[in-house]
């Protein structure tokens, strides 16, 4: 791919690392974030600041976004200073936020009417995956547009797949989040059990993390739990948003997902206890309280 001007909206826990990968391979980056201070490291590395999402769209050929909630996506795409009204014909908008499939479909159609292209491309892998360029990237939209921008995805992820029409990326991410939700219950119950049994949690992870119980969650988030590290690779508040989307989609499809519903209730309990700004491994604290366990460290 020829070097093109690239726009980036959202420089949070994951977005800042993903954006940096594109700077590192030589692209001109025009960036916007609601809090400019969070973009300072990228600006020091050569990115150029824009005052609005619309200004990013005016200056870039390809515009990425990764923000918090579907309403944030609507604002940056449809707002008075948004992408739809400011992007040039032929520009490509790639939303990497975990959002609703129906919004991805709406954006695709609205973009098409204006001569733009749109992809939904949510990711999985958390802050570590973003830093190491090892994210899973799930893409919906037109196949030919996906092929055109694939070289931009490759520095960010090692597992990149075109999943189908607009909205397919978001549906795939919902499948991902459903699996993670129930897995996290298993992770924290396993480690609570190990603690109560007087076992060394790190040694438990060493052995069960290499057998049939192995998962990314036990080998990565389990390690953080054992060390007492509850900083966010992915916020609890955002995970609750994702589970809500999945439950809404399940209801629309007349699906019963009791495991997801249970996990959602435990995470809502975490929020009621003031843990919404912790990483998803903060669920451990809920089970600590339920079982009257001392802090790990």
Element (H, E) at 272: helix 258-272
From the candidates 38, 131, 165, 173, give the one annotated as an active-site residue: 173
What confidence score (pLDDT) does residue 20 get?
Answer: 96
Higher pLDDT, 1 or 180: 180
- In the block, tokens 């989609």 appear at 249
Cα separation, 293 vs 175, whole angstroms: 32
What residue has token string 């092929």? Answer: 147
Q: Per the structure block, which two tokens stand in for 59? A: 């200056």
Specify whether the CB–CB gap between 43 and 23 falls below 8 A: no
The tens digit of pLDDT for each residue in 71-119 reads: 999 999 998 899 999 999 999 999 999 999 999 999 999 999 999 999 9
Q: Is 173 a catalytic residue?
A: yes
The pLDDT score that the predictor gives to residue 4 is: 74
| Torsion region of 294: left, alpha or beta (phi above 0 gives left; psi -120 to 50 gives alpha) | beta
Chain centroid, CA 284 distance in Å: 21
- Over residues 26-78, the pLDDT tens digits come to 998 999 999 999 999 999 999 999 999 999 999 999 999 999 999 999 999 99
Q: Tell me if residue 84 falls in helix, strand or coil.
A: coil
CB 183 within 8 A of CB 217: yes
Percent with pLDDT over 90 in the chain: 93
Residue 120 scores a pLDDT above 50:
yes
Give pLDDT tens digits for 168-199: 999 999 999 999 999 999 999 999 999 999 99
Rounded to whole angstroms, the Cα distance separating 88 from 91 reads 6
Q: Which residues contact 287 (CB under 8 A, 6 or more apart)?
A: 188, 189, 192, 293
Long-range contacts of 132-135 (CB under 8 A, 24+ apart): 133/21, 133/157, 133/158, 134/158, 134/159, 135/18, 135/159
Q: What's the CA gap between 42 and 19, in Å, rounded?
A: 8
HSE value, Cβ hemisphere, 13 Å, CA-based, for 227: 10
Region at 279 (left for phi over 0; alpha for psi -120 to 50; beta for the rest):
beta
Cβ atoms < 10 Å from Cβ of 231: 12
Rounded to whole angstroms, the Cα distance separating 160 from 154 reads: 8
Structural domains of the chain sorted by starting position, each given as residue range(s) with its CATH number in brackets: 5-165 (3.40.50.720), 171-291 (1.10.1040.10)
Give the chain's largest Cα–Cα span: 63
193's enclosing H/E stretch is helix 168-196
Structure tokens at 263: 């996990």
Residues 289 and 133: their CA atoms lie apart, in Å, by 36
Q: So what's the pLDDT on residue 297?
A: 43
296 pLDDT above the threshold of 90: no
- What pLDDT is attached to residue 2? 62
Give tens-digit pLDDT for 256-287. Answer: 999 999 999 999 999 999 999 999 999 999 99
């Amino acid at each position: 791919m020829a070097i093109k001007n690239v726009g980036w909206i959202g420089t949070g826990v994951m977005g800042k690392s993903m954006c940096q990968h594109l700077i590192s391979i030589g692209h001109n980056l025009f960036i916007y974030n609601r809090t400019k201070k969070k973009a300072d490291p990228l600006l020091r590395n050569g990115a150029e600041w824009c005052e609005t999402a619309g200004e990013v769209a005016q200056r870039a050929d390809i515009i990425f976004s990764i923000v918090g909630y579907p309403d944030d996506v609507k604002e940056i795409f449809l707002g008075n200073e948004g992408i739809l009204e400011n992007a040039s014909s032929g520009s490509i908008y790639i939303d990497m936020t975990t959002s609703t499939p129906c919004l991805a479909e709406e954006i695709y159609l609205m973009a098409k009417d204006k001569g733009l292209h749109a992809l939904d491309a949510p990711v999985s892998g958390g802050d570590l995956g973003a830093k190491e360029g090892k994210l899973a990237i799930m893409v919906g939209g037109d196949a030919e547009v996906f092929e055109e921008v694939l070289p931009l995805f490759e520095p960010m992820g090692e597992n990149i797949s075109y999943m189908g029409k607009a909205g397919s990326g978001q549906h795939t991410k919902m499948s991902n989040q459903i699996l993670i939700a129930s897995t996290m219950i298993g992770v924290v119950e396993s480690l609570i059990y190990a603690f109560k049994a007087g076992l060394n949690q790190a040694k438990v992870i060493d052995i069960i993390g290499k057998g049939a119980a192995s998962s990314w969650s036990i080998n990565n988030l389990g390690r953080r739990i054992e060390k007492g590290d509850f900083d966010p690779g992915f916020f609890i508040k955002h995970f609750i948003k994702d589970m809500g989307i999945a439950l809404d989609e399940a209801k629309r499809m007349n699906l019963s997902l009791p495991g997801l519903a249970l996990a959602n209730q435990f995470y809502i309990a975490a929020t009621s206890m003031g843990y919404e700004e912790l990483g998803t491994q903060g669920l451990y604290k809920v089970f600590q309280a339920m079982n009257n366990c001392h802090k790990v460290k």
